[in-house]
Amino acid sequence: TTKIILDTDPGIDDVMAILFAQAHPDIELKAITTVYGNVTIENATHNALYLKQKYKLQADIVTGASKPIVRPPVGPTVVVHGEGGFGDVKVPAEVEGQADPRPAYQYIIDAVKAEPGEITLVAIGPLTNLALALQADPTIVDLVKEVVVMGGAFGENDHRGNVTPFAEANIHDDPHAADMVFTASWPVVVIGLDVTEQSFFTRDYLDQLRDDAGEVGQFIWDVSRYYLKFYSEKVGLEACHVHDPSAIAYVINPELFTLREGPIRVVTDGVAEGMTIQKFDGRTYLHDDWMEHAPQKVGVAVNDSELLALYRSSI
């Protein structure tokens, strides 16, 4: 089994990912660290505590950053995930249990030091907590097993951005943090729009999940109503993309994905703010500091039917 800390801004597809990680026997969900993004940090932590109570999760819940490191906050994406983050599903105002007293970055540092080489960080929101952990203790790069990120878009198959023509939401929310995480010398795998927009949860697929997968299937169906409405009205799709659950699928079965290697940078300001770029041509240039950075891996293709079957059989 792979021990993970799931860094998340729940969020409808985040819930789909959390319940996937919880359901699959090959994953041990050690902690959920929260981050602003789809919702405010208060909301994100509240939603995580609610899921812990509702599904009796063993995972620690830990509160993370409330804003990006450098850029001004973009703000919650109410149109995609609803006021509270779970679409039309209202989370009760009172939930049992409490978040760990440490900030998420400190929890991450403590956890990877306690179990060197054992923990995979899976980030499915803005990368602020991971960057803060790197800033506070750069030695963690040698202690983390792997960093798996849902974010970015590398221009394969015309998938370049979803919040601007050239930027994906998680990276656009904190481009400076993302650039730190991608250029650090720990092993990073980035599952971006190039692959997450190749897999679709259709209405039929979600109906089946509701019919076959008990209470969890029903809950996923319930939260997905609002998301499908957004996709139908704003994207013109009668389905939703499989963003955050794809990062979990990678942890369970990396063979579902085709990866490409090379250093990754993020554009931190200007017209292409939040754009992700990978250098993979192997050439050296006259002015070239790219090769100083660790080669990382980017997903460029996915076996979508197997991914969808894996999700269905796990939930």
Minimum CB distance to ligand BDR, residue 81 (Å) = 6
Q: Which is nearer to Ca ion, 76 or 262 (CB)?
A: 76
- Of 12-20, 232-240, 271-279, 295-303, the segment contacting Ca ion by CB under 5 A is 12-20
174 is written with which tokens?
A: 């904190």
Residue in 24, 46, 172, 243 annotated catalytic = 243
157 is written with which tokens?
A: 């198959």
Binding site for ligand BDR (CB under 6 A): 11, 13-14, 38, 77, 80, 124-125, 150, 162, 168-170, 243-244
- Of 13-21, 23-31, 58-66, 216-224, the segment contacting Ca ion by CB under 5 A is 13-21
Minimum CB distance to ligand BDR, residue 139 (Å) = 28
R_g over Cα of the chain = 18
Strands (E), the chain: 2-8, 27-34, 60-62, 119-123, 146-150, 188-191, 200-202, 239-241, 257-262, 264-266, 276-278, 296-302
Q: Which is nearer to ligand BDR, 63 or 162 (CB)?
A: 162
Element (H, E) at 228: helix 214-230
β partners of residue 192: none
Binding mask 76-115 for Ca ion (x = CB under 5 A): ----------------------------------------
What's the rounded Cα separation, in Å, for the pair 223 and 83?
A: 12
β partners of residue 256: none
Minimum CB distance to ligand BDR, residue 11 (Å) = 4
Partner that binds at residue 146, options Ca ion, ligand BDR, none, CB closer than 5 to 8 Å by kind: none
Angle at 257 between CA 138 and CA 223, to 5 degrees: 85
Q: Does 125 bind Ca ion (CB under 5 A)?
A: yes
239 Cβ contact partners less than 8 Å away, ≥ 6 residues apart: 200, 201, 202, 203, 205, 228, 231
235 burial via Cβ count (<10 Å: 0-12, 13-18, 19+): middle
Q: Which is nearer to Ca ion, 11 or 84 (CB)?
A: 11
Is residue 24 annotated as part of the catalytic site, yes or no? no
Eight-class DSSP state of 75 = -
Q: Which is nearer to Ca ion, 231 or 290 (CB)?
A: 231
Minimum CB distance to Ca ion, residue 243 (Å) = 7
Residues of this chain that bind Ca ion (CB under 5 A): 9, 11, 14, 124-125, 244
Catalytic positions: 243
